[in-house]
Structure 1
Amino acid sequence: MLSELLAGALSDAAERRLTRPFAAVESAALDRAPAIDALHALSPADRVKIIAEVKRASPSRGTLAEISDPAALAVSYEFGGASAISVLTEGRRFLGSLADLEQVRAAVSVPVLRKDFIGEPYQVLEARAAGADLVLLIVAALDQATLGSLQTLVRELGMTALVETHSAEEVDRALDVGASLVGVNARNLSTFELDQELFGRLADRIPSGVVRVAESAVKTAADVAHYRAAGADVVLVGEALVTNDPILTLTEFLAV
């Protein structure tokens, strides 16, 4: 599944590149106002922090919510206390777009993450051109040289990479390229099975000074508390927010 998602995302990027060449996207990226300091926004605190996700659908769950106005949803997330907003921009299985990200960026003052299947510099430049402050890099989707080069480009553009892992080996690979924001995804992107205990098994491999993000398998405040007790500085939440009252749900989650 991960290989399919990455191939689709790269194919879609190649299509966009036909009408918006690399040089044009690079120029737009460099012309953007400086990115917001996401590491500061997500730095460890007395209470857990939340990255709230604009997510219409997923391969495992199908359609979750229509979300006709992603900017309005993001505003409610910010009002509810989210420290950053994640926007799914993958169009085939998640029904997102870069236009969603641009609308969200224009509506909120917190950092915005482009969550997609990134495999080449063009996509990173697109993210910055659209106003992203963070970019998702999935270790399992990238060889080490590509992971390192994309991480370097993200930093050169003033953004922060959320480097997503699913195993001890992948955590080590993330740290080897200097990741300062490491996510552990409870969802296996090959089988889409969930393992909520994975974060706890890997958290100790992530040193102090690196922000720890728990991803997936969050339905209730008890799930957030579970991750917090295991050492999460930040929890990324999508489905639970788009299928319930976002402000009320965030209030409950942030109270753990």
Structure 2
Amino acid sequence: MHTVTRIAELRATLKQWRRQGLAVALVPTMGNLHAGHIALVNAARQRADKVVVSIFVNPTQFGAGEDYAAYPRTEQQDSDKLNRAQADLLFLPAVAEIYPEDAQVSVTVGGLADDYCGGSRPGHFNGVATVVCKLFNMVQPDLAFFGEKDFQQLAIIRRMVVDLNFPVQICAVPIVREPDGLAMSSRNGYLTAEERAIAPKLYQSLCRVRDAILAGQTDFHALTEQQMECLRVAGFLPDYLAVSRIEDLRQASEDDRNLVILAAAKLGRTRLIDNLCFSR
């Protein structure tokens, strides 16, 4: 695996690949890689000739008081994992390489960013969309791979590709979970041993809502409120738990068939998100 830190180096390598007619996949990450990230790389290797993985802790998607400075940076361990996963190129830029000092242009996201994590973290998805837009321009991938754990982010990126006419296919990869159901996340490392034992209850709440809906219950508000209270009792500070339509993340009605249950909650100092898609 080749590692580059400059955009010019990245483009020089990509130019050689394109001269050979090779299909290129991009896996954007913020590092501190786990099995969920490696699943993205594996999926990309199956669909493309060359796989580029970016590691960049993006400052513009962190709000005031969030964990940008403390976000785990494990570049050597990440590089080793990517080598074993047979990624072709690691793009490891500095902040100044991505954001010029006098940068004045960014991407602003409307509707899809108004609720859920967007409501709780103002400006977060503008930062996500901006850095992904930049990476798409730098790499110009044929395919880009994202995990379904960040379901709202995935929906926003899909919309951005349509609205800004990017010639890239967005490929979603299912959530990778621990044996007890906890969705893998770089932030799980923040959990204390006691919190780690409690954390799977978030996924369990999603499963209970899904099972109740599949059993015929249609009062989605009552179901989610009940599970929010269960999470509070367990020690969480819930942000949201909602039943939405998969296609546009709008509030689901009893007539909708393709649903996603979205949730976010703090456990100690760690903010956990999860979701569960299903049809009825």
TM-score, structure 2 as length reference? 0.30
TM-score (norm: length of structure 1): 0.32
Q: Which structure ranks higher in relative contact order (CA pairs < 8 Å, sequence separation ≥ 6)? A: 1
